[in-house]
A and B are shown apart, each in its own frame.
Chain A
């Protein structure tokens, strides 16, 4: 016996879940990066290096919003870029965790710096993620 539930009928997403989940996580990361970039601006008054870091961070955050948008549209190049960025981010965080500088202490940095990049990679590298970005499932680009 199999019953199609109300949830299944109403929750049927218009596009596959993996790109949607990955894009939400990337938008969250981009929003957090945007605040980090904006918050460094006051320090740039006395710390000239932070003027550059702040600007670069804001530009990267904007780039991540754009990547998230294109992930949702199932662009293969966006998937490749996000995988590269998240892998680099995860590797850097793991490296910093090994150093005795207290970079990762507690649940928040673990969630933000380890769990979220790992979840994005998991969504994009999973079978469902690969299938969603396969040429056959690409949406009509004119649409």
Chain B
């Protein structure tokens, strides 16, 4: 669900370079201090005397600052300007951590303002949350937690200790929920529904693609007609999937067809709907072998494959939920990405069409009631 935006990809390389540059900078500073250069001695002594928690907080702020500056070329207008201000601010605060006394409170304000601004941007739809942005927020959240721990123990009277205990977890939980809400409220064009990512395709199908899509539908319908009786499917090697309260559709999979690629005679799965008079064959599902391996799409935008991402899968009950933007799942479940799949619905699927990722809800209700 959360990919790496094309205009953010360069920042990832910049992050790796920045880590190396930060490490090299310390080595060079130590070398210069060894040569008895005054300013280098003062700076290196300040660095060496700082506790590890300060060094880590400063390094994370410098990293965030560098990342923001690396993101500037992919943005424009007010966002680009804010990235410049933010990046420079983090670099100044990262250096100030070693040479000043005043840096802690401004750093907390800067970190909180940056995280809140990102959430506002994401919820407003001005920025799509992607892995680079989310990773940057994680770096800033950890830096915030570290800087907050650097506070000298002050008054121990209520409510100061409680505030110190809950402020950082509240900020982390709030940031996670904010990014999540923004991502779900403004899905990009390639997200059919939460968790399903569509194969990139052209906007309009050519006449040739329309014909190819019709042929695929006809060939699939003719091929799977022999499996109208679920017993025939089981006899042919299809194994019924688990019964789920969340999904009234049942997929019968045939592992023997795993190597077939969009072959109407060997679809990877058959889809049945649970009706009042038993299981009714409503379509087939073609599937590739590996995540990210998009299949051939003879119908162009009409036959877009999709893969499910950001799913928390629990093997205990074969159940699903959605993972958080920080890629966490409930204990006992794990994040999975399915290989790309293409459904072919042989029943009328309403306005969604015969190759949609999902069966139309109205059609589904009618089938269940029939």
Q: Is B275 an interface residue (CB 8 A)?
A: no
Contact flags (1/0) for A101-117 with B, using CB distance below 8 Å? 11111111101110000
Give the dominant DSSP class at B's interface.
mixed
Residues on A with beta carbons closer than 8 Å to the beta carbon of B253: none
Q: Interface residues of A: mostly helix, strand, loop or mixed?
A: helix
Whole-angstrom CA separation of A28 from B171 in the bound complex: 10
Inter-chain contact B176/A31, CB cutoff 8 Å: yes
Asked if B53 and A17 sit within 8 Å, CB to CB, the answer is: yes
B177 at the binding interface (Cβ < 8 Å): yes
Contacts of A31 in B (CB 8 A): 168-169, 172-173, 176
Binding site for B on A (CB under 8 A): 1-14, 17-18, 20-21, 23-25, 27-28, 30-37, 39-40, 43, 46-50, 52-54, 56-57, 60, 65, 69, 96, 100-109, 111-113, 128
B331 in contact with A57 (CB, 8 Å) = yes
A32 pairs with B317, CB closer than 8 A: no
A82 to B270, CA, bound (A): 46
Chain B interface category by residue count: 35 or more
Contact call B333/A7, Cβ cutoff below 8 A = no
- In angstroms, Cα B3 to Cα A107, docked, is 10
- Tell me if B246 counts as interface (CB < 8 A to partner A): yes
Cα-based distance from A109 to B134 in the complex (angstroms): 10
Check A101–B337 contact: CB distance below 8 A.
yes
Flag if B309 contacts A102 (CB, 8 Å). Answer: yes
| Contact across chains for B331 and A108 when beta carbons are under 8 A apart | no
Is B327 positioned at the interface, with any CB of A under 8 Å from its CB? yes
* Contact call B323/A36, Cβ cutoff below 8 A: yes
List B contacts of A50 (CB < 8 A).
Answer: 314, 317, 319, 321, 330, 333
Tell me if A21 and B131 are in contact (CB < 8 A): no
Could you say which of B139, B168, B321 has the most chain A C-beta atoms within 10 Å of its C-beta?
B321
Q: How far is the CA of A46 from the CA of B332 in the complex (A)?
A: 17
What CA separation (Å) do A13 and B134 show in the bound complex?
30
Interface residues of B in 290-325 (CB under 8 A from A): 290-292, 309, 312-314, 316-317, 319-325
